[in-house]
């Protein structure tokens, strides 16, 4: 099989050995679950319950409050103990519903299994919206919006991000091995929406068993093809994945639909199947708990709202105190200061690193080596954008295409001066975008 890839990028140690051969284990929650109303890009959901209410598994407790927003559902049955702001993995606070689990897991009445083959694309998108499905690869963009791009976009390629290029994480890998048919059905649902399109499943070659499993599952499906990808970071970024598979380039400021593509994460396909065929909302996910500090790294399927601490405890706790805990992977994840934060839809991993793995050296002056330029998959000049941002030259930052940065962290990874490039660029991006919203 020819291995495809994109231009530039880096090769961090992938660290997947801890959990790539660990089957998914189901983990049940304890007493309290916390459901932030902001688990997605866009407007927070509007809270639908109050203190003292009883809720059921699958009950909508947060209503999408805008075009770019997503519904929130309870993953347990129990009593609402409080509605108040809580700390999330992003370091910000979000209004959240706190539910005391009664251990009964009494469910709402879910819709009977449906045959999507007789549905219109708008009906499918509405079911996905009602289920609160968002991009499960970390971006958390409402999936129903992605599924219905503007009518002038000619969609001919459905690209499945099964690369899982982020080091240490193996939740997507294990899901491909263990729930293959549901993933394939999720893709077939989108292909039903776009009958003239072809589906491509891109998998990095460090997951050879996943490539073989998916190839076997789609061998008799003429409009789905598995594509092997070189193991390189950030292979799973939308624009890089589209280029690797289709050789099309998404123009600056444009979206995948402008290149005739819809990109969906492999776990998102699983959730689309659950929503459309089974009528079940997005209330669980697989999380990789890993890192050198964890006693027994695992892939666990958990209910949304569980505390990170419960997941770490289920892995035996720490064998040594971690110097850093990250929600997600080491390249794009967020460092967290406490394990008492809830699992949300985009929580793909909990990475616990020792002092040996997470040395935090001091920055030094840029030595003009150009390594960040050579690594950047977006063909930017990270050192220049860093300098512009630190000088508060936001006009120059924008003119230098700073908003095109995908925040992959490749520049910081290769920088011999240990410059905090991605943090500086990310801060400038947030400021520029905030200023645009004020106008």
Instruction: With beta carbons less than 8 A apart as the criterion, state whether 408 and 402 touch.
Output: no
Percent with pLDDT over 70 in the chain = 100
The whole-number average pLDDT for the span 294-302 is 98
> Residues 321, 323, 328, CA angle at the centre, nearest 5°?
105
Residue-wise pLDDT tens digits, 83-127: 999 999 988 899 999 999 999 999 999 988 889 999 999 999 999
Tokens coding 156: 């001919």
Give residue 275's pLDDT: 97
pLDDT band at 195 (very low <50, low <70, confident <90, very high): very high
Alpha-carbon 303 to chain mean position: 16
Instruction: With beta carbons less than 8 A apart as the criterion, state whether 143 and 264 touch.
Output: yes
pLDDT for 420 beyond 90:
yes
Which residues on neighbouring strands pair with residue 95, listed in sequence order? 85
What residue spans define the domains of the chain?
A: 112-277, 371-438
Tell me whether residue 376 is annotated as binding. Answer: yes
Beta strands 60-63; 224-229: pairing state? unpaired
The whole-number average pLDDT for the span 212-225 is 98
Q: Which residues contact 130 (CB under 8 A, 6 or more apart)?
A: 71, 275, 281
pLDDT for 42 beyond 80:
yes
Backbone angles phi, psi at 425, to 5 degrees: -65, -40
CA atoms within 13 A on the CB side of 97: 32
Tokens coding 125: 């998108």
Neighbours of 163 (CB within 10 A): 29
pLDDT for 359 beyond 80:
no
CA distance 81 to 101: 10
The whole-number average pLDDT for the span 39-61 is 97
Tell me whether residue 372 is annotated as binding. Answer: yes
| Residue that wins the pLDDT comparison between 358 and 63 | 63
pLDDT for 297 beyond 80:
yes
pLDDT for 361 beyond 90:
no
Residue-wise pLDDT tens digits, 306-321: 999 999 999 999 999 9
pLDDT for 23 beyond 90:
yes
Give residue 112's pLDDT: 84
Tell me whether residue 261 is annotated as binding. Answer: no
Q: How far apart are the first and last CA of the chain?
A: 51
pLDDT for 1 beyond 80:
no
DSSP labels, 179-190? SHHHHHHHHHHH
CA distance 293 to 384: 36
H/E stretch holding 200: strand 198-204
Residue-wise pLDDT tens digits, 140-165: 999 999 999 999 999 999 999 999 99
CA distance 317 to 296: 8
For domain 112-277, say whether CATH 3.40.50.11540 is its number. Answer: yes
The whole-number average pLDDT for the span 276-281 is 96
pLDDT for 357 beyond 90:
no
Helix axes 180-193, 208-218, angle to 10 degrees: 60
Q: Indicate the SS3 state at residue 397.
A: helix
Tell me whether residue 171 is annotated as binding. Answer: no
Give residue 90's pLDDT: 86
pLDDT for 279 beyond 80:
yes
DSSP labels, 126-174? HHHHHTT-B-TTTT--BHHHHHS--TT----EEEEE----STT--HHHH
Tell me whether residue 315 is annotated as binding. Answer: no
Residue-wise pLDDT tens digits, 315-354: 999 999 999 999 999 999 999 999 999 999 999 999 999 9
CA distance 350 to 71: 24
Q: Indicate the SS3 state at residue 108.
A: coil
Nearest C-alpha neighbor of 272 from the set 135, 87, 156: 135
CA distance 207 to 287: 18
Give residue 406's pLDDT: 96
CA distance 350 to 329: 8
Tell me whether residue 366 is annotated as binding. Answer: yes
CA distance 439 to 437: 6
Minimum mean pLDDT range among 48-57, 108-117, 249-258: 108-117
pTM for this one?
Answer: 0.95
pLDDT band at 276 (very low <50, low <70, confident <90, very high): very high
Only one residue has tokens 């040395």, namely 359
pLDDT for 356 beyond 90:
no
Give residue 60's pLDDT: 98
pLDDT band at 139 (very low <50, low <70, confident <90, very high): confident
Tokens coding 107: 């469910």
């Amino acid at each position: 099989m020819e291995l495809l890839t994109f231009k530039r990028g880096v090769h961090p140690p992938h660290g997947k050995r801890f959990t790539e051969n660990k089957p998914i284990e189901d983990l049940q929650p304890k007493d309290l679950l916390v459901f932030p109303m902001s688990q997605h890009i866009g407007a927070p959901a509007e809270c639908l319950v109050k203190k003292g209410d009883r809720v059921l598994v699958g009950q909508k407790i947060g209503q999408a409050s805008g075009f770019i927003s997503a519904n929130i559902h309870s993953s347990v049955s129990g009593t609402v103990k409080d509605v108040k702001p809580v700390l999330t993995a992003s370091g910000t606070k979000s209004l959240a519903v706190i539910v005391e689990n009664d251990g009964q897991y009494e469910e709402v009445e879910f819709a009977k299994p449906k045959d999507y083959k007789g549905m219109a694309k708008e009906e499918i998108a509405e079911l996905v919206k009602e289920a609160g499905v968002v991009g499960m690869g970390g971006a958390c963009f409402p999936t129903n919006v992605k599924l219905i791009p503007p009518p002038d976009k000619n969609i001919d390629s459905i690209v499945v991000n099964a690369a899982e290029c982020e080091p240490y994480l193996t939740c997507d890998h294990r899901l491909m091995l263990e729930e293959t048919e549901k993933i394939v059905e999720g893709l077939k649902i989108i292909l039903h929406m776009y009958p003239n399109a072809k589906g491509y499943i891109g998998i990095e070659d460090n997951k050879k068993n996943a490539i073989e499993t998916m190839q076997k599952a789609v061998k008799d499906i003429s409009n789905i093809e598995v594509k092997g990808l070189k193991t390189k970071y950030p292979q799973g970024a939308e624009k890089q994945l589209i280029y690797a598979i289709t050789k099309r380039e998404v123009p600056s400021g444009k979206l995948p639909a402008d290149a005739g593509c819809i990109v969906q994460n492999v776990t998102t396909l699983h959730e689309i199947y659950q929503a459309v065929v089974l009528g079940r909302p997005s209330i669980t996910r697989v999380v990789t708990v890993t890192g050198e500090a964890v006693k027994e790294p695992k892939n666990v399927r958990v209910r949304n709202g569980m505390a990170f601490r419960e997941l770490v405890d289920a892995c035996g706790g720490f064998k040594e105190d971690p110097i850093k805990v990250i929600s997600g992977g080491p390249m794009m994840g967020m460092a967290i200061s406490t394990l008492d934060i809830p699992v949300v839809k985009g929580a793909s991993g909990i990475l616990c690193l020792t002092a040996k793995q997470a040395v935090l050296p001091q920055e030094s002056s840029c030595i003009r080596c150009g390594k960040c330029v050579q690594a950047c998959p977006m063909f930017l000049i990270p050192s220049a954008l860093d300098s512009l941002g630190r000088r508060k030259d936001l006009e120059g930052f924008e003119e230098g295409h700073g908003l095109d940065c995908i925040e992959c962290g490749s520049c910081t990874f290769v920088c011999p001066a240990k410059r905090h490039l991605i943090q500086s660029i990310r801060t400038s991006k947030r400021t520029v975008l905030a200023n645009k919203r004020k106008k």
